[in-house]
Amino acid sequence: MELLQAIKGRRTIRRFKPEPVPRELLERLIQEAMWAPSAMNTQPWKFIVLTGQARQGLIAIAEGCIDQLDERMKTLFNEKMRGMVRGYFRDCGGAPAIVAVVSSLPPEEVYQKGSLFSSCAALQNFLLLAHEAGLGACWMTGPLWVEQAILSYLGCPDWGLVGITPIGWPDQSPPVPPRKHETIEWRD
């Protein structure tokens, strides 16, 4: 797949078929995603793949922030949309796997940002590679409301949570959200 085609064609997917994703495929995509650049070449990311009971346990924790998110959503979405988001938090759209991405955090705040940005680059690589492989995914930071509980559950209490990413075979073809290209500025 052409790079531009992958960048423009990738969509956030929130409904999945029940078929599992082969472990070897996920392993390969993650290995390739980790070719991302990183601050001072620290490669600070860790990808944790959760299926079965481990996946259920994570969803049970993430569900704990629906009320906080709903407050924010009231200012952004109509009731139908909010209902969909609440439902999605309860089952992650039936995704057979969830990939949690965490980033090691050095003590200095300025380096913490570099670490998180690096891991974001790796996660975006992963989303594009997953799309190229015919998979769909949804990078989620809504669960940051319960970041510490998730990190403890993952056994990484001192790391930063970059996102939890339900992944699987898409069962929807969402419309393309319009882009806001006016954020480019040229200054000579």
Ligand X SMILES: Cc1cc2nc3c(=O)[nH]c(=O)nc-3n(C[C@H](O)[C@H](O)[C@H](O)COP(=O)(O)O)c2cc1C
Angle between the 52-62 and 147-154 helix axes, to the nearest 10 degrees? 160
172 contributes a contact to ligand X by CB under 6 A: no
Task: Select from 58, 116, 140, 146 the one that contacts ligand X (CB under 6 A).
Answer: 140
142 contributes a contact to ligand X by CB under 6 A: yes
33 contributes a contact to ligand X by CB under 6 A: no
Q: In terms of Cα–Cα distance, which of 164, 171, 163, 162 is closest to 44?
A: 162
Task: Select from 5, 12, 31, 68 the one that contacts ligand X (CB under 6 A).
Answer: 12
Task: Select from 22, 155, 177, 178 the one that contacts ligand X (CB under 6 A).
Answer: 177
Binders of ligand X in range 75-94 (CB under 6 A)? 88
**3-class secondary-structure state, position 49:** strand
Q: CA angle at residue 102 from 49 to 136, to 5 degrees? A: 50
11 contributes a contact to ligand X by CB under 6 A: yes
Residues touching ligand X: how many (CB under 6 A)?
10
141 contributes a contact to ligand X by CB under 6 A: yes
139 contributes a contact to ligand X by CB under 6 A: yes
C-alpha distances in Å from residue 59, one per residue of 45, 62, 128, 153, 162: 21, 5, 24, 11, 16
Beta bridge mates, 97: 167
Which is nearer to ligand X, 96 or 166 (by Cβ)?
A: 166
- DSSP one-letter code for 38: -
d(CA 183, CA 188): 16
Q: Residue holding tokens 């952004």?
A: 76
175 contributes a contact to ligand X by CB under 6 A: no
User: CB under 6 A: which stretch of 23-31, 101-109, 136-144, 148-156 binds ligand X?
Assistant: 136-144
d(CA 35, CA 55): 26
Interface residues with ligand X (CB under 6 A)? Answer: 11-12, 14, 88, 138-142, 177
